[in-house]
Amino acid sequence: MGAQPLLVWKFGGMSLSDLTRLRAAAQRMVAARRAGHQLVTVLSAMGSSTDELNAMAYSLSARPQLRELDALLSVGENISCALAAIAVQDAGERAISLTGPQAGILTDGSHGNAQLWDVRPKRVLEELDAGAIVLVTGYQGLSPEGDLTTLGRGGSDASAVAMAAALGLHECEIFTDVPAVFSADPRVVPDARRLAAISRDEMLQLAAAGAAVLQPRAVELAAAHDIDIHVRSSFTTETGTWIQEEAVFETFEITGVAHRDREALYTVTGASLAMITLALAQRGAAVGAIVRDGSAIHLTVPGVEEPAVLEAVSTVGARIVLQDELGSVSVVGSGIGRRPDATARALLELEAVGIETQLVTSTPSRVTFHVAGDAVHRAARRLHTAFGLHRAAGVEPGPDRVARSVS
């Protein structure tokens, strides 16, 4: 590859929502290439095209086969990459679009939520050596049976981090339609604070709780391969938020609040808990909260599309009912799971404004409250204020971080 510095970028769907934005992303790639960088760029599907394809499938069948759903939903990224390659070439630089399989992204055979097995970027390296900007379809890979698979909602983030790891890098830039990571969703919490830096564990907890800026699996991959992620705006050259390893001792600090407008709660009967969890595990899905109610089992399966859950549970002969009027609000911070007073305070704050909590779950860094869907936004604002997050200032990135980011 020579001495030219190599970058891995990823552009999200809203950054590519129309041809004007797609061309702007292509021009940004061209500028980086002309500044002396080699560049691999992972692209999502344009705008809401994946949702539109998904809706088409469900207009034809209440339970489309997951293999065919993958074959359909993976098309959006192909379109983005081919169009971006055309735009780059029109600007005078060489570019090539590669599908996930062509780029060497290998997965297991779990359709809808495939697990990454390996990335073998031989073709990517060859094209870089030939002077091309390499555009890789996010979200998709190749199963051992030779079928296209998808990596779950937001899977292009994981594709980008995995590609960076395979190329031996320790940084990956994620360009999105928001300028940074915030202490809460600023569309819901107007006084949410912009964070200059955040630890990988805290970002993982925020993402797992619904912060849509980054897929949780991407953060897990970053932690496993020591990759710093820079989340930044695709519309400006400003520095965003660095997600990086942070050496801490037993501190207690609330970082942010995340929410899900809709957190599916499933009620399952007719099968044991072991059978249910095994069926889900075979499709790469993990159970979140579990509550027994006589012969019924209530559970959540965070981050997994409902069709995949319904399909998995049906294989063991169980009956499953979906309760979809609930949402969730989570408070994230180092050591919060070891501070029962923080959970008690949150419950008191919610109770004070008449919000009833249906279910509480916790990890060492996150406490999640399941509430009525129409109360989610109100709960997020209340907890954000209660823990003083509107006053907390983010940690500024070191000068080495700022210097290494490319406009």
Distance CA 229, CA 217 (A): 13
- Provide mean pLDDT across the span 94-113: 95
Place of tokens 């619904």: 210
**Confidence band of 406 (pLDDT split at 50, 70, 90):** very low
Could you tell me which residues are annotated as the binding site? 10-13, 50, 77, 176-177, 187
Flag whether pLDDT at 186 surpasses 50: yes
Query: Quick one: which of 188, 302, 196, 202 has its CA closest to 255?
Result: 202
- Provide mean pLDDT across the span 133-145: 97
Q: What percent of the chain has pLDDT over 90?
A: 65
Please provide the distance, in angstroms rounded to a whole number, between the alpha carbons at the two ends of the chain: 22
- Residue 380: C-alpha distances to residues 204, 240, 373 (Å): 18, 23, 12
Distance CA 376, CA 380 (A): 6
Query: Quick one: which of 376, 138, 353 has its CA closest to 368?
Result: 376
Flag whether pLDDT at 398 surpasses 60: no
Distance CA 58, CA 161 (A): 31
Stretch (H or E) spanning 112: none
Could you tell me which residues are annotated as the binding site for substrate? 50, 77
Place of tokens 């997600």: 243
Flag whether pLDDT at 2 surpasses 50: no
- Number of Cβ within 10 Å of residue 203's Cβ equals 29
221-232 confidence digits (pLDDT tens): 999 999 999 999
The whole-number pLDDT of residue 252 equals 58
Listed in sequence order, the DSSP H helices in 235-272 are none
5-17 confidence digits (pLDDT tens): 999 999 999 999 9
C-alpha atoms less than 13 angstroms from C-alpha of 313 in its C-beta half-sphere: 29
The whole-number pLDDT of residue 266 equals 87
> Would you say 72 and 11 are in contact if contact means Cβ atoms under 8 Å apart?
no
Distance CA 255, CA 340 (A): 17
62-89 confidence digits (pLDDT tens): 888 889 999 999 999 999 999 999 999 9
3-state class (DSSP) for residue 224: helix
pTM of the model: 0.85
Flag whether pLDDT at 337 surpasses 90: no
Helix 200-208 vs helix 216-224: crossing angle, to nearest 10: 160
- The one-letter amino acid code at 34 reads R
Structural domains of the chain sorted by starting position, each given as residue range(s) with its CATH number in brackets: 6-249+396-404 (3.40.1160.10), 258-386 (3.30.2130.10)
User: What one-character DSSP code corresponds to residue 95?
Assistant: E
Distance CA 56, CA 70 (A): 13
Distance CA 315, CA 90 (A): 50
**Confidence band of 168 (pLDDT split at 50, 70, 90):** very high
The whole-number pLDDT of residue 52 equals 94
Could you tell me which residues are annotated as the binding site for ATP? 10-13, 176-177, 187
Query: Quick one: which of 88, 77, 93 has its CA closest to 25?
Result: 88
Query: Quick one: which of 280, 269, 272, 288 has its CA closest to 312?
Result: 280
> Would you say 18 and 47 are in contact if contact means Cβ atoms under 8 Å apart?
yes
